Structure 1
Amino acid sequence: HYDLDRMYGKRTVGLAPNKSNWALPLSEPPYIAIPVTGGITFTFGGLKCDTSARVIDTRGQVMPGLYAAGEPMGEIFYNNYPGASSVIRGAVYGKIAGAHAAERAKG
């Protein structure tokens, strides 16, 4: 059994951003540092597209000749992200966009 009450009040005070009760001091070696860099794998935003991968503007109108596939597309995964779906999303919507653009080019 873990005593959650022992963590009460263990937080930083007066430092932004505020920290949780789970902040603990690093008081005993060994200390290990690992280089980390930020990156964006995906967003829960992106460009609004229709099922033909055409980009939709802020008025809800298709932007002729503008397509999106893969990471730039929004509204596919809203509150959750199924792992390993980035490549398949680019492949599927890339094929859809290419086919639609080819039909459009034919006239």
Structure 2
Amino acid sequence: MAAVIEGLLAEQGLSHADLANRLGVTSARVRQILAGEADLTVRSLAMLAEGLRAQVEIRFLPRPANGARADQVHEGHQGHQGHDGDEGAGEDDGARQGTVLARGR
């Protein structure tokens, strides 16, 4: 996640201090988030997305039959393209997959 955030900051020409200012938090808090030392809630992820002028997506995917751990499922999931070009479930497995989007205002 930190690499994605750093990439978004670089694309927008923002520093950690700029992001902290947008979020109304300290630069130390931004460093804590980027270091993976913060337990983030859905609300804080949405706030972070707002500050980055981005959106965050949280997905629930079924585990593969081989019983791989959740982090292995996420890293190895390749998904497939739907009708609109978004990666995600097809019509057959849509009932087993849930997605939550948090967007800025």
Relative to total residues, which structure has the larger helix share, 1 or 2?
Answer: 2
Same fold (TM over 0.5): no
Q: Which has the higher contact order (CA 8 A, sep 6+)?
A: 2
**Shorter-chain TM band:** under 0.3
Alignment TM-score, normalising by the size of structure 1 = 0.21
